[in-house]
Amino acid sequence: MPLRDHFRPPVANIASWEELHGLWPGLIAIRLNSILPPDYRSGVKIHLGSSVEIDVAAFELESSRSVENGTPSDTSVVWEPASPTLLLDTDERTPPEYEVRVYDQSRSRRLVAAVELVSPRNKDRVESRDAFVSKCHALLQQDVCVVIVDPVTERSANLYAELAERLGAARPSIALASTYAVSCRSLSFRDRYRVEAWPHELAIGSPLPTLPLWLTETQFVPLELEATYEETCRGLRIP
């Protein structure tokens, strides 16, 4: 069955892309747990951003206590800062994360693989793209297999291409694709560090690929994107 465009009509009129991103990771984790070796397990991590809210009443209370404790009184010189310039005004401090993680339970729950489902917020700003790429880069440096699945059609940035640039690698063959899926792993080879990738361009109307999800240098399980995606769409009644 084909990949739908979840960011434009007619699909966007039926279900939001958040519904896909909310359910798909869970079904991927369930599928992985049915095929992973006994010492491994998969789980989901979804982080929807964070915000900071100042408790004005508490702030005023603390201010009054400071005055009572001998800080500048009405007779002291009162200093006030100049009006600030607006540096950032956003509803979220960090982009949301939709992630499936695989752990080796025999090695103190060591993280061995991560499937990153890209959201529009991961691609919309330089800072967001840099944070996503930095995370993937750090995981690869820790010998964690990283899979990037990007179904976002409303943003053209290619985070895999930016990751390759961060690594100092050649420009990927799918660098111009706005939707894609790629599995990456790092390993030592003849005293050299290397990163291997299995990239696939995604196209609306075409099936999704199966990618290798590496647990060790020699052991992997198939990450069946098509089967779990179709199960997600059926569950959400997306035709």
Q: How far apart are CA 103 and CA 215, in angstroms?
A: 9
Kindly indicate the confidence band of residue 189, based on its pLDDT and cuts at 50, 70 and 90. Answer: confident
Enter the pTM of the model. 0.81
Span 94-143, pLDDT tens digits: 677 899 999 999 988 999 999 999 999 999 999 999 999 999 999 999 99
CA distances, 25 to each of 14, 44, 101, 122 (Å): 20, 6, 9, 16
- Assign 3-class secondary structure to 156-198: CCCHHHHHHHHHCCCCCCCCCCCCEEEEEEEEEECCEEEEEEE
| Amino acid letter for position 179 | T
**Do the bridges between strand 192-201 and strand 220-224 make them parallel or antiparallel, or are there none, so unpaired?**
unpaired
For residue 102, how many other CB atoms are within 10 A of its CB? Answer: 26
Written as one string, the DSSP assignment of 105-136 is: GGGTSEEEEEEEE--HHHHSSHHHHHHHHHHH
Q: Looking at residue 174, what is its pLDDT?
A: 96
pLDDT score, position 53: 39
**Cα dihedral 36, 195, 128, 100 in deg (nearest 10):** 0
pLDDT at position 12, please? 96
Task: Give tens-digit pLDDT for 44-63.
Answer: 998 876 543 334 443 344 44
Classify burial at 165, counting beta carbons within 10 Å of its beta carbon; exposed 0-12, middle 13-18, buried 19 or more.
middle
> What's the pLDDT tens digit per position in 149-187?
999 999 999 999 999 999 999 999 999 999 999 999 998
Q: What is the pLDDT of residue 209?
A: 96
Q: What is the pLDDT of residue 17?
A: 95
If one compares 82 and 193, the residue with the highest pLDDT of the two is: 193
Q: Exposure pattern of 185-223 as b/e (b: 16+ CB <10 Å)?
A: bbbeeeeeeebebbbbebeeeeebbbbbbbbeeeebbeb
Q: What confidence score (pLDDT) does residue 202 get? A: 97
The pair phi, psi for residue 16, each rounded to 5°, is -80, 160
pLDDT of 27 strictly over 70: yes
Provide the pLDDT for residue 190. Answer: 76
Q: Which is it for strands 145-150 and 110-117: parallel, antiparallel or unpaired?
A: parallel
Q: Return the higher-pLDDT residue of 67 and 133.
A: 133
> What's the CA dihedral at 182, 151, 21, 134 to 10 degrees?
50
Percentage of the chain exceeding pLDDT 90:
73
